[in-house]
Amino acid sequence: MSITAAGTAKLGSFTVNRMGYGAMQLAGPGVFGPPRDRDMALAVLREAVASGVNHIDASDYYGPYVVNELIAEALHPYPGDLVLVTKIGARRDDKGGWLPAFGADEMTAAVHDNLRRLKLDVLDVVNLRMMFSPHGPAEGSLEAELTTLAELQQQGLIKHLGISNVTPAQLAQARSMAEIVCVQNAYNLAHRADDALIDQLGADGIVYVPFFPLGGFSPLQSSALDQVAADLDATPMQVALAWLLQRAPNVLLIPGTSSLGHLRENLAARELVLNAEALSRLDEIAA
């Protein structure tokens, strides 16, 4: 069983604190171009690590290239316990549009680009991000793409493989081809389609990393959430993060921000405990 003591979990061969950091928002508007405040972006990364974050989620197509370059500038040489997770499967056009990039040559180049910009010899974890649907998972084989990634892993360029934006059937296919250490799908207090999947993964010792943990482009809004937060003298977003941490011990969080203030708010959710009454009220949101 991969799950260890409260507060940490096993991500492949790594032990990480369950509250991590997602670096996507360090790029410019629309995850495109340079940050509005480069010094602040570097400061956020450094404070995250100084505050106990040892799991950072990024990608070379954030920016593109900008976020990985910021991570290397802020943190290299990296602390020994820091786990950098990247993802491939997309590229950007010159206007910031998101385009699929699943060809073997494109994926191989993406792995080498991530290595170079992060200043690494081997990537800790690479997530294969599927894009069958712009709005969420959709069925389709991932055999060709995962075959390419597995070959790169065998070459010693990748330690562990994960998958993102996938269905249970795709997870089963992936696990029949390679060891999968994490699944990264959309999930939050109001969007709970993966409830059964989280429990299945937990039983199998695989971590689940929700993207859009605070609602994504439409932040979570609920009178029940607001009231629970007020009762706890916390912010609604802190409650939403605390709920995810209490949802299952195999859930890892990667809330993102480009603000030191928001970073500190997010990290404070590690100490927030929701009692049975609060959890019951929050369950009404999904219902």
Active-site residue set: 62
Q: Which two tokens stand for residue 145?
A: 């793409």
Per the CB < 8 A criterion, the answer to whether 168 and 142 are in contact is no
Q: Helix, strand or coil for residue 129?
A: strand
Return the C-alpha torsion angle 80, 203, 252, 285, nearest 10.
-170
Nearest 5 degrees, angle CA 210-CA 43-CA 76? 80
Per the CB < 8 A criterion, the answer to whether 183 and 201 are in contact is yes
Determine the Cα–Cα distance for residues 165 and 91; give it in Å rounded to an integer. Answer: 16
Residue in this structure with the two tokens 């492949």, named with its chain if needed: 12
Strand spans (E) along 179-232: 180-184, 207-208
By the 10 Å C-beta count (0-12 exposed, 13-18 middle, 19+ buried), 256 is classed as buried
Question: Which amino acid, 101?
Answer: A
